[in-house]
C-alpha cells in the first residue's frame, strides 16, 4: 500500500512538471508589460495609456507601459517577438510594425506573420499634413507648388522609417511630383515638437497626435490623408480634395503577443480590450482624438494582418520605395 501511494505521488508530481508555466498558476498572477515601440507622446503610446488602466482593472494586475522606440517600431516589436509566450508581454502594434516595414526592410529581425499572435485591432486613424503655425504655406497646393519649384528645400518629419507617416509623405511626393527631404524620428512626440519649432518644413502625423496641437494653434493642418474628412475636424480638407485625386492612407493600431501565446490568454485579452473600447468614457476620448474604433477577434485580426502585409508589399514594389 505504501509503495502504491509513493508511486501515485511520483506520477502526479511528474505530470505537474510537464504542465506549461502559465497553467501552474491562474493567469495573470503578475504585472503585464505593454511594449510601445515608439517614443512617448505618439498614437500608440496614447492608446496604451488609455487602454492600460481599464485592462488592468479587468485583469486584476498592473499594465506597465514600456516605451522601446527605434527603427520605425522594429526595435520594440522585436523585443516582443523574442519574449516568452506566457501572456505577460504585449505589443502596441501598428501598420508599420506589422505591414509596411516587412516590405521596406529585407533585413527585418522578425517575421510579422509568423513571430506573433494577433490579439485584436484597436482602430484606424487618418493622418494629417501639418506645418508650423507661422508657416507661409496655407494649403497643400502651396506645398506642392513650392516643392516642384525648389526641389530639396522642403523637409518633412515622420515618426520613423517605414511608418504610415513616412509612407503617406512619400506618396504625397510621388503623386504631387515634388521632392522633400524625409527626416525620420524615434516617434511622433519628438517629430511634432520639431514641426512646432520650425526645425522642419512640415510633418505628417496621425490626427490623434496632431489634434491637441491643431486645437492649440501651434501647428496648422493643411490636409488629411483619408478618403473622407475626419469627424470633429471637418474644416480640414482631404488630400484628394486638395489636388491629389484618389489619395487614401490611414494608420491602424492593434495588439500582438509573442507567437505561441496560449489561445485562452489571447482570447481573454482580446475580449477585455473589446469591452474597453465600448466604454462610454473611452469612446468619448477616442472620438475627440479622431480614432475610429474597430475591434476584431484574433482570427479576424490574423486574416486582416496577412492582407495588409500583401497590400503594402505591392505598394512598396510599385512605388519603388526604399528605407533611406
pTM of the model: 0.81
Structural element, H or E, at residue 120: strand 116-132
> In the CATH scheme, what is the homologous superfamily, with its name and number, of domain 126-224?
Periplasmic binding protein-like II (3.40.190.10)
Residue 231: the pLDDT is: 87
The three-state secondary structure class of 121 is strand
Sorted by where each begins, the domain ranges of the chain are: 31-124+251-319, 126-224
Domains 31-124+251-319 and 126-224 share a fold: yes
Superfamily of domain 31-124+251-319: Bordetella uptake gene, domain 1 (3.40.190.150)
Predicted pLDDT at 186? 87
First to last CA, the chain: 75
**Using alpha carbons only, what angle is made at residue 41 by residues 37 and 46, rounded to the nearest 5 degrees?**
80
- With beta carbons less than 8 A apart as the criterion, state whether 256 and 73 touch: no
pLDDT of residue 6: 46
Each residue's pLDDT, cut to its tens digit, for the chain (324 residues) gives 455 544 455 444 544 455 554 445 699 999 999 999 999 988 999 999 999 999 999 999 999 999 999 988 999 999 999 999 999 999 999 999 999 998 888 889 999 999 999 999 999 999 999 999 999 999 999 999 999 999 989 999 999 988 899 999 999 998 999 999 999 998 899 999 999 999 999 999 999 899 999 999 999 999 999 999 998 899 999 999 999 999 998 899 999 999 999 999 999 999 999 999 999 999 999 988 888 888 899 999 999 999 999 988 888 887 777 765
Amino acid at each position: 500500500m505504501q509503495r502504491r501511494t509513493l508511486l501515485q505521488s511520483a506520477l502526479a508530481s511528474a505530470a505537474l512538471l510537464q504542465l506549461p508555466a502559465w497553467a501552474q498558476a491562474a493567469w495573470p498572477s503578475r504585472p503585464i508589460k505593454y511594449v510601445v515601440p515608439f517614443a512617448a507622446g505618439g498614437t500608440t503610446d496614447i492608446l496604451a495609456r488609455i487602454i492600460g488602466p481599464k485592462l488592468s482593472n479587468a485583469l486584476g494586475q498592473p499594465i506597465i507601459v514600456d516605451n522601446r522606440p527605434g527603427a520605425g517600431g522594429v526595435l520594440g516589436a522585436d523585443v516582443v517577438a523574442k519574449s516568452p509566450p506566457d501572456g505577460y508581454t504585449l505589443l502596441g502594434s501598428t501598420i508599420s510594425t506589422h505591414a509596411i516595414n516587412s516590405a521596406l526592410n529585407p533585413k527585418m529581425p522578425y517575421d510579422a506573420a509568423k513571430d506573433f499572435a494577433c490579439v485584436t485591432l484597436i482602430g484606424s486613424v487618418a493622418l494629417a499634413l501639418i506645418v508650423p503655425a507661422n508657416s507661409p504655406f496655407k494649403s497643400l497646393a502651396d506645398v506642392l507648388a513650392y516643392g516642384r519649384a525648389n526641389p530639396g528645400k522642403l523637409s518633412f518629419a515622420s515618426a520613423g522609417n517605414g511608418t504610415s507617416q513616412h509612407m503617406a509623405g512619400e506618396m504625397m511626393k510621388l503623386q504631387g511630383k515634388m521632392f522633400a527631404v524625409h527626416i525620420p524620428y524615434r516617434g511622433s512626440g519628438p517629430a511634432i515638437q520639431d514641426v512646432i519649432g520650425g526645425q522642419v518644413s512640415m510633418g505628417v502625423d496621425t490626427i490623434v497626435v496632431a489634434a491637441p496641437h491643431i486645437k492649440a494653434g501651434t501647428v496648422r493642418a493643411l490636409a488629411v490623408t483619408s478618403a473622407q474628412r475626419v469627424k470633429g475636424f471637418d474644416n480640414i480638407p482631404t488630400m484628394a480634395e486638395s489636388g491629389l485625386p484618389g489619395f487614401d492612407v490611414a494608420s491602424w493600431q492593434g495588439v500582438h503577443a509573442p507567437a505561441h501565446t496560449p489561445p485562452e490568454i489571447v482570447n481573454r485579452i482580446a475580449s477585455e480590450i473589446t469591452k474597453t473600447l465600448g466604454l462610454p468614457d473611452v469612446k468619448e476620448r477616442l472620438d475627440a482624438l479622431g480614432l475610429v474604433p474597430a475591434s476584431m477577434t484574433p482570427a479576424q485580426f490574423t486574416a486582416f494582418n496577412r492582407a495588409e502585409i500583401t497590400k503594402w508589399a505591392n505598394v512598396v514594389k510599385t512605388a519603388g520605395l526604399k528605407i533611406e
